[in-house]
Amino acid sequence: MQSAVLKGRSLWDDARRRLLRNHAAVTSMVVLALLVVAAAVGPYLAPFPFDQINKNDVWMGPLTGGHLLGSDALGRDLLARLLIGLRVSLAVGVVATFVSLVIGVLWGATAGYIGGRVDEVMMRIVDILYSLPFIFFVILLMVTFGRNFILMFLAIGAVEWLTMARIVRGQTLSLKQREFIEAARAAGLERNAIVIRHIVPNLLGPVVVYVTLTIPGVILAESFLSFLGLGVQEPLTSLGSLISKGAQDMELAPWLLIFPSIVMVVTLMAFNFIGDGLRDAIDPKDR
Amino acid sequence: MLRFLFRRLLIAIPTMFIVVTLAFFMMRAAPGSPFVNERHLSPEVEANVMAKYGMNRPLAVQYATYVGGVLHGDLGPSLKYKDKTVLKIISEGFPHSLLIGGLAMTIAAIVGVSLGVVGALRQNGPADYTAMGVAVLGVCIPTFVTAPLLVLLFASMLGVLPTGGWPTASQPLSSAWRYFVMPVAVLSLPQIAIISRLTRAGMIEVLRSNYVRTARAKGLPEHSVVLRHALRGAILPLVSYLGPATAGVITGSLVVERIFSLPGIGRAFVASALQRDYTVVMGVVILYAGLILFLNLVADVLYAALDPRVRLS
C-alpha cells in the first residue's frame, strides 16, 4: 500500500537508515549515551565524594567496605574517581574538539573559497605545522606555563585543527563549482555571507564524521599527557591520570589499573565505531 | 629528481627554523627563571648562575647564540645535570631508542602487511575478521594501557618476562631478548593496526585492477599474481605512512621507555619535562622534528621512485 503523501528520501534519511543498520555503531551509541549520563550525574550519586580521603579504607579491594570498585592508597573511592575522571576526559574531548572545529572549518573554508594565492599561503602554513611533532609542543607548553586546564584545551585544540582544515578545504573546492553557489553569487551575496551561509552548512557531513573521530584522539592526547604527569592535577583526575596511578600501584592493587583501563578502551571504541559507522552512512563510496 | 629534492629541502629548512624559534621563545616566555625550583638562591647567586648560562644578555643575542649553536650541533648545557650537555644526554639515549623503535617498525611492517594481505584475500572470512579485530584493538587500546597490563600479566603474574630494564652488555643474546619482547610488542601494536588496514584497503583495490586481471589471464599462478604483482601496488600507500609511523613510534616510546625503564631519549625527555630542564626538552623536540621531517622527505622520494605514475615536478 502506498501512503497518501509521497515523501522523497533525503540524503540524511538515507544516511540515518544506513547508520541504524550498522549494529556496531548503534551499540556504540547506546554505550556512549550511558557513559555520558554516568559522567554527568554519576558523581552526585556515588556513595563517596571523589576527593574524600578515608584513612581507614586504604587499599580496599572491589566490593569491600562499601567501595564498589575498591579504593586507592589514600582510601579514596575508585568508582567516584572513575566517574569524575570520565567526566574530565569527555569534557576535554568535546571542548578541545570544538576549538579545533571552529579554527579548522573557518581556515579551510576561507582558503578553499578564496583560492589562488591566499589558498596557497594558508595551506602551506598547514603543511608546515602538519610536519611538526605537535604533541611535543603541547608538552613544551605544559612544561613552561604550568599545568593549566584551559591552556591544555587550547593547546590540544590548536593541534587538531589541521586535518579539519584540509578536509574542509577539499570539500569547499568542490562545492564552489556547484550551481547553487553560482546562484548565490549572481544574487549579489557577499563573499563572507556565501562562505558562512552556503558553504559551511554543506560541509556538515564530512565534518560530523571527522569530529566523532577527533574526540577520541583528543581524549587520547589528554590521557597521554596525564599519564606522563603533565596533565590534570590532583585531586582532580582524568582517565589517563587514573591509569598512570594504577600502573604505579598495580602489584598491590590491580583493580586501580584494570577498571580505568576498561572504561578508557570502551570509550575510545564507542567513538571509533560511531565515527566509522557515520562515515559509511554519509559517504558510502568511501569505505 | 634533483630539482624535486631541492624543492622539498626548501620547505624542510624553514620548517626546522620555525621549530627552533618556537621552542626557543616558548622556553623564554616561561614565567620565572629555570632555577627557581632549586634551593633558595640569593639574588647575587642567581644573577651569577644566569650570567653563566648567558641569560642576562638581550633576548635577541641569546636567540642568535642558540640558533648558531644548533647549526653547529651544539644544543647547550643541561640545566639540571651540571656535568652533561644536551648533546651528551641525547647521544647516550639515542642508540637504545633507535634499537627498540627500529625493531618495532620492522615487526609492525611484517605483521601488518601479512595481516592486511590475508584479510584482503579472504574478505569477510574468519581470517579477515580476526585481522580486523586486531586492527580495531590496536587503534583503540592506547600504549599506556597495553604496557602496564602486559607487565601485570607476563612479569608480575606469570613471571616469564622481566618487568623492565636493559640487558647488560655482557649478557648473551639468548637471555637478553626477553627484555625487548614487551616494549617492542607495545610499540608495534598500534602500527600493526594501521598498517594492516592500509594494506587491506590497498590490496582490495589493486586486486580489481586491470593489470592484475592481465596477470591472471596470462595464467600466472595465484601466489605469483598476489605476491609479485598485486602486493607491489598495494603497499605503495604504506611508503607515505613512513613519516606518521615514525612520529607514532616516537610518541609511543615516551610511554614505553618510562614504563619499562629503558635508558632511551623518551625517558630522558619525560624526566626533563617534569624537572623543567628546558634545554634538554628543546633539544629533544628539535631532534624529533628533524627526524620526522627527514623521514617524510625519504618517504616522498621513495614514493616517487617506486611509483612511475607520480611525476616529480
Q: What is the ipTM of this complex?
A: 0.75
Q: Euclidean distance between the first and final Cα of chain B, in Å?
A: 8
A62 occurs within a structural domain: yes
Q: Are A257 and B30 in contact (CB < 8 Å)? A: no
Q: Does B18 touch chain A (CB under 8 A)?
A: yes
What is chain A's mean pLDDT, rounded? 79
Nearest to A50 by CA among A84, A74, A6, A92: A84
A1 occurs within a structural domain: no
CB A219 within 8 A of CB A268: yes
The number of domains in chain A is 1
Residues of A in contact with B292 (CB under 8 A): 131-133
Q: What is the DSSP letter of A199?
A: I
B196 occurs within a structural domain: yes
A6 occurs within a structural domain: no
Residues of A in contact with B147 (CB under 8 A): 247
Angle at A25 between CA A21 and CA A26, to 5 degrees: 65
B259 occurs within a structural domain: yes
The SS3 assignment for A183 reads helix
B64 occurs within a structural domain: no
CATH number (domain holding residue B250) = 1.10.3720.10
B252 occurs within a structural domain: yes
Instruction: List the helix and strand counts (H, then E) for chain B.
Output: 15, 0
Q: Are B26 and A128 in contact (CB < 8 Å)? A: no
Q: Are A251 and B156 in contact (CB < 8 Å)? A: yes
pLDDT of residue B107: 92
Q: Does B280 touch chain A (CB under 8 A)?
A: no
Question: Which residues are within 8 A (CB) of B149 and not within 5 positions of it... i.e. 6 or more apart?
Answer: A257, A258, A261
Q: Does B236 touch chain A (CB under 8 A)?
A: no
Q: Which domain holds residue A22?
A: 11-286
pLDDT of residue B1: 67
B63 occurs within a structural domain: no
CB atoms within 10 A of CB B212: 18
Maximum pairwise Cα distance, chain A = 76
Q: Which domain holds residue B91?
A: 86-306
B145 occurs within a structural domain: yes
Could you say which residues of chain A have pLDDT below 70? 1-11, 57-58, 61, 63, 65-68, 73, 75, 131-134, 146-147, 283-287
Nearest to A266 by CA among B132, B142, B185: B142
A56 occurs within a structural domain: yes
Global pTM? Answer: 0.79
pLDDT of residue A1: 47
CB A107 within 8 A of CB A165: yes
pLDDT of residue B67: 82
pLDDT of residue B309: 66
The number of domains in chain B is 1
Question: Which residues are within 8 A (CB) of B169 and not within 5 positions of it... i.e. 6 or more apart?
Answer: none
Q: Does B149 touch chain A (CB under 8 A)?
A: yes
pLDDT of residue A286: 43
Q: Are A264 and B142 in contact (CB < 8 Å)? A: yes
B258, B281, B292: residue with CB nearest A131: B292
> In the block, which residue shows the cell 576535554?
A92
CA of B219 to nearest chain A CA: how many angstroms apart? 31
pLDDT of residue A162: 85
Could you say which residues of chain B have pLDDT below 70? 1, 30-41, 50, 53-56, 308-313
CA of B205 to nearest chain A CA: how many angstroms apart? 11
A282 occurs within a structural domain: yes
Q: How far apart are the C-alpha atoms of A203 and A205, rounded to whole Å? A: 6
CA of A273 to nearest chain B CA: how many angstroms apart? 9
pLDDT of residue B287: 85
Bridge partners of residue A64, in order along the sequence: A67
pLDDT of residue B313: 45
Residues of A in contact with B11 (CB under 8 A): 127-128
CATH number (domain holding residue A29) = 1.10.3720.10
A127 occurs within a structural domain: yes
pLDDT of residue A56: 73
Instruction: List the helix and strand counts (H, then E) for chain A.
Output: 12, 0
The count of residues in chain A is: 287
Amino acid letter for position B161: L
A3 occurs within a structural domain: no
C-alpha distances (whole Å) from A192 to each of A106, A114, A184, B144 are 11, 10, 12, 45
